Amino acid sequence: MDEKKNDLTAVAAEGQSETPAAETPAADAPAETAAAPDSAPKADYPQYITVAPSPHLRAHDTTRSIMLDVVIALLPAFIWGVYHFGTRALTIGIVSIACCVIFEALSQLVLRRPVTIGDGSAVVTGLLLAMNLSSAVPLWLPIIGAFFAIVVVKQLFGGIGKNVVNPALAARVFLFAWPNEMGTFTEAGVRLSGIGKADVIASATPLMSLKAGEFPDVTLSEMILGQTSGCIGEVSSVLLIAGGLYLLIRRVITWHIPVAYLGTVAVLTVLFPQTASGNLSFMLSELFSGGLILGAFFMATDYATSPVTYRGRLIFGVGCGLITVFIRFFGGYAEGVSFAILIMNLLVWYIDRFTMPIRFGGKSVEKKK
C-alpha cells in the first residue's frame, strides 16, 4: 500500500508541474468547474472597435436635417413675401439660392475640397440672403451677394462651421455698396412680375418713418401680419415667430439669444421712445418692423457664429439688442440688425472664453504657469 501511495503522489506531482499555474483549479472550486473549464461563458467582441475622442454623444441630427428644419421654418414667411410682392420676389429667391449652390460647388472644386452642396447650408444662405433683399433690386445684385457670402465669407475661411461671421448678413452689408438699389422698396401690395427691369414705386418702410420721428401710416396689426413695405422675408412677423417656435420645438435653437435680443430692444425702446405716439406703441412698432424678428430667430442663432454656452448666448443677445437700438437711434441708417449681429459675431471668441466652464484642475494649472 505504501508503494502504491508513493506512486500516486509522484504522478500527481508530475501532473501539477506540467499544468500552468493559471490553469490550475482552486482547491475550494467545485468539481464541475475544475473538471470542465471550457463550459464557462465567453465574451463576444466585435471585429472592429471604433475609438473616438470625447464627447461621446449620439444624436440622429445631421447637418442636412438641421438645414432642412431651417428651410421649413423660413418658407412660410418667404411664401408670404412672394404673395405680397409678386413673382419678382420668387425670381430673386431662386437666383440667390441657385447661385449660392453653384458658387459653393465651384469653390470647393477649385480649392480641392469635398463638394458638400448636399448638406443644404448653401440653400439656407441663399434663402436668407433673398429674404433680406427688396423685391425691387435688380437680378444681378443677389448674384454678387451670393458670391461674396459663399466664396469670400464661407469657403475662404474653411467652409461650413469655420466662418467668422454670418455669410448672408455679411453679403447684405456688402451690397450696401449699391445704396440706391438696396434702399428702394415698393409700396405695400404692389406686386412686381417678370425677369426684366422692374417698374418700381418707391415707398418708405415703417422703420424709416420711426427713424424720422413719425409714427408709421400702417397699423400695428398690418405690421404683424406683413401688409407693409420692406424686404421680402422680414414683413410678416407672425410667420417669422411661428418659424422660430418651430425651431425651438425641434430643438434646433435655444431660447436664450432670441429672448435676450428681443427683450433688450423692448426694454430700451419702451424706456426711451423717439416719437410722441406713446411708449408701448413705439416699442411694439420697433419690435415688429424691420428685420429684428428675422435676425433674432434665424441669423443671430447661427451655430458657427454664436456662443456655445447658455450664459454666453444671453450676453450675445443683450449685446445685439444694445447695438441695434444704438444704431437705430443715433446712426444714419434706419436698420441696425445686420450690423449688430456682425459686430457681436466678432466677439464670440471672447464671450466663449469668458463664459466657458473651467476644467477640473484648470485654474490651478493656470496659476502655476
Amino acid identity of 63? T
Omega before residue 25 within 30° of 0, cis: no
pTM, two decimals, is 0.80
Distance of CA 180 to the CA centre of its chain: 30
Mean pLDDT of 39-57: 61
HSE-up (13 A, CA, CB side) for residue 203: 22
Separation of alpha carbons 238 and 77, rounded Å: 9
Residue 338 banded pLDDT, cuts 50, 70, 90: very high
CA–CA distance, 324 with 318 (Å, rounded to integer): 10
pLDDT digits (tens, 9 = 90+) for 14-30: 444 444 444 444 444 44
- For the CA atoms of 210, 213, 214, 220, the dihedral, rounded to the nearest 10 degrees, stands at 30
- pLDDT-above-70 percentage for the chain: 78
Q: Which three cell numbers stand for residue 87?
A: 413673382
Q: For the chain, what is the mean pLDDT? A: 83
Residues 6+ apart with CB under 8 A from 28: none
Question: What pLDDT is stored for residue 12 in this prediction?
Answer: 45
pLDDT the model gives residue 218: 83
Residue 247, C-alpha cell as written in the block? 425651431
Decide which of 144 and 186 is more confident. 144
pLDDT in tens, 249-279: 999 999 999 999 999 999 999 998 887 777 8
Answer with the residue of higher pLDDT: 167 or 16: 167
Structure confidence at residue 109 as a pLDDT band (50, 70, 90): very high
Dihedral angle over CA of 292, 350, 304, 147, nearest 10? 80
- Going by C-alpha positions, the residue among 316, 314, 304, 311 that lies closest to residue 355 is 311
- Burial level of 212, CB count in 10 A (0-12/13-18/19+)? exposed
All 3 cell numbers of residue 184?
A: 428702394
Q: How far apart are the first and last CA of the chain?
A: 80
Whole-number Å distance between alpha carbons of 279 and 265: 13
Cα 104 vs. chain centroid, distance in angstroms? Answer: 18
The pLDDT value recorded for residue 257 is 96
